[in-house]
Amino acid sequence: MHPELFPEFRSELIPAGDGIFIHALTGGQGPALLLLHGHPQTSAIWHKVAPELARHFTLVMADLRGYGDSSKPNGGARSADYSKRVMARDMLQVMQHFGHERFKVMAHDRGARVAHRLALDHAGSVERMVLLDIAPTLAMYANTTDEFARAYWHWFFLIQKSPLPERLINANPAAYVRDVIGGRSAGLAPFDLRALAEYERCMALPGAAQALCEDYRASADIDLEHDRDDIEAGHLLDVPTLVLWGEQGVVHRCFDPLKEWQNVATNVQGHTLPCGHYIAEEAPGPLLEAALPFLRGG
């Protein structure tokens, strides 16, 4: 982790069982708040909002299994070791390691999918939750259009049989990061060069490309099974939830995020923010303005 991005935070490796270690940055004061990043990034995404959040919360900014400096196990059958159920359990173990039996969550992209499963499987642990720029995984796959498939090409590239996508990513990990991030609505302009360097460093780590693909393979397979099981059982998300998404992003163009979340949740509100996909880096001020009152409530 680039030390200048988080000068007031501690870096730790936390055991999460089965030989897995999760890297996290910790600091701040107040109630516990877990922050989870997305693809193809790390906990560095929070560097613009962490100082203000730390005035109100004890922050745990974790790298998801397979990302950043966290462990990168093999995926196993059906990529089950990267199911959101397993990745959510990692985060529960991390928070319990720090003594946080109940906590709040703010999560972006892949991390928001982990947070969704965390709040479904461990609702008693999650007080309230902010999800950034996603609709539910099942809804996005079920309602895929030509426009969505072209814009979110990586959803369909990364799930291809190994080792094809891994080989192509490993040929130039830094280019993969910059092309994916820079291909969104805002380009590379909003990103601190130190954060970009961190994303590039972590994508080049041994096992990172495979882990990335296994995360997406799980979402296109076993995660959908878990989501369908919940719907069939009438198991709805029952944690106060705020969903925020970029008005310049693909999710806004291709889906109705609030409606999709209302289909699977009992207590959800949300709206757009003036940015694209990478909310915490493109629009840190509007994000804090929207998320802080919600997170501090209840």
Instruction: Indicate which residues carry an active-site annotation.
Output: 109, 277
Q: Residue 36: name the closest of 98, 95, 91 by CA.
A: 91
What are the CA-CA distances from residue 249 to residues 129, 177, 282 (Å)? 21, 18, 12
Structure tokens that stand for 136 in this block: 């539910």
Token pair for 291: 């998320």
The DSSP secondary structure of 210-263, one letter per residue, reads HHHHHHHHHHTTHHHHHHHHHHHHT--B-S-EEEEEETTSHHHHH--HHHHHHT
For residues 223 and 243, give the distance between their C-alpha atoms in angstroms, rounded to a whole number: 20
If one counts every other C-beta atom within 10 angstroms of the C-beta of residue 228, the result is 11
